[in-house]
A = this chain, B = another copy of it.
Amino acid sequence: MDLKITAAVDIGGAAVSLQGLPLEILLAHLEKGGRVEDLPGYGQKGYTGVKALTSDAGDLLVETTPTNIKDGEPGLTHIRTALSRGKHVVTAAKGPLVLRYQELKGLAQKTKAKLMISAATAAALPTLDVGLSCLAGTEVLSAEGILNGTTNYILTRMHEEGTPYADALAEAQRMGVAEPDPSLDVEGRDTGNKILLIANEVFQAGLSLPDVSVKGITKVTPAEIEQAKREGKVIKLIGKVEKKDGKVVASVAPVALPADHPLAGIRGTEKAISYLTDTMDRVTVSGGKSNPVGAAAALLKDIIRIYKG
């Protein structure tokens, strides 16, 4: 595969070249703290993502704007613009997907563009690949995932060392495992966003965010952890999708798992997802680096799969 990057866009402008940007020069420039709009010979101040996407430059958008769950912008406009012109989209931004999944999927179908979202659903952990491709031909009955490294780290500390929640959170923040504002993670909303996308992709559930019941880990007490331990169990924050009375139901909550559950041994910042199927029984996948390199690897994987199937 010979890929050309025709535009690299940031908030202040872009570096643009229909012949393809010189990648080594661009990366060296960025590593020195330079901005794309200042790249000599290629930089253009005020050049926007929408401008790049309405030009003839490129046939694929890699969307990595910060996740915005309020209105999905600017990613939502970027993705809409790309898909409506038949350009493929590979995205790490959860906001547009969480808010407008059906619309964007429909748009992609209409223009025969591909919308690939591995990087938005636990990145290097191949949640969707396994659910869609490795299990093709089975009926997937349920999915249970540990999809957030921060909360799993906190719960692991609470379980293994008896650390109270507030102390485990403070430690996670000191180590850079938890954000200064950890609410998206600890309130279960990050897990909720991911399990919503998994429900819609793997189960074609057609769910929206309000359909997902979400409970985080902020109320988990040392007493509950101790009680679980006495019963040979371990409390994990589980995002779950299951079929109930013909409907697909998605939820997030702390669950006491028995020791032989395939997710019981997932420790620290590790993530995992376990699918139950009719003909292949249970298939569980774990791991995948939880950092920007892992997310970039997931974006690259989706790009490769668009062009090489």
- Interface residues of chain A, those whose CB is within 8 Å of chain B, are 124-126, 129-130, 133-138, 260, 262, 265, 267, 274, 277, 279-289, 293-294, 296-298, 300-301, 303-305, 308-309
A309 to B277, CA, bound (A): 21
B285 and A280 form a contact (CB under 8 A): no
A124 and B293 form a contact (CB under 8 A): no
B137 and A126 form a contact (CB under 8 A): no
Given A135-B301, A137-B304, A280:B289 Cβ within 8 A = yes
Which residues of B are found within 8 Å of A134, using beta-carbon distances? 126, 129-130, 133-134, 285, 301
Which of the listed residues A280, A284, A287 has the most CB atoms from chain B within 10 Å of its own CB?
Answer: A280
Which residues of B are found within 8 Å of A129, using beta-carbon distances? 129-130, 133-134
A262 and B287 form a contact (CB under 8 A): yes
- The 10 A-B pairs at the shortest CB distance, nearest first, are namely A126-B134, A281-B289, A279-B297, A124-B280, A137-B300, A309-B309, A129-B134, A136-B304, A285-B285, A283-B287
A265 to B286, CA, bound (A): 13
**Complex: chain B residue closest to A308, CB-CB:** B136
Which residues of B are found within 8 Å of A125, using beta-carbon distances? 283
A104 nearest CB across to chain B (Å):
21
A275 nearest CB across to chain B (Å):
8
A-B contact pairs, 8 of them (CB 8 A): A130-B130, A133-B133, A137-B300, A137-B301, A277-B297, A280-B288, A281-B287, A282-B287
A65 nearest CB across to chain B (Å):
22
From B137, B267, B283, B305, contact of A288 by CB (8 A): B283
A137 to B287, CA, bound (A): 17
A126 to B265, CA, bound (A): 21
Question: With A124-B281, A283-B285 given, can you name 11 additional A-B contacts, CB distance below 8 Å?
Answer: A124-B283, A126-B134, A129-B133, A133-B134, A133-B305, A138-B301, A279-B297, A280-B294, A281-B288, A281-B289, A283-B288
Which residues of B are found within 8 Å of A308, using beta-carbon distances? 136
A74 nearest CB across to chain B (Å):
26
A176 to B288, CA, bound (A): 36
Which of the listed residues A129, A134, A137, A289 has the most CB atoms from chain B within 10 Å of its own CB?
Answer: A134
A106 to B126, CA, bound (A): 30
A224 to B63, CA, bound (A): 53
Given A129-B133, A285-B283, A289-B281, A297:B138 Cβ within 8 A = yes
A136 and B283 form a contact (CB under 8 A): no
Which residues of B are found within 8 Å of A293, using beta-carbon distances? 279
**Complex: chain B residue closest to A285, CB-CB:** B285
A83 nearest CB across to chain B (Å):
20
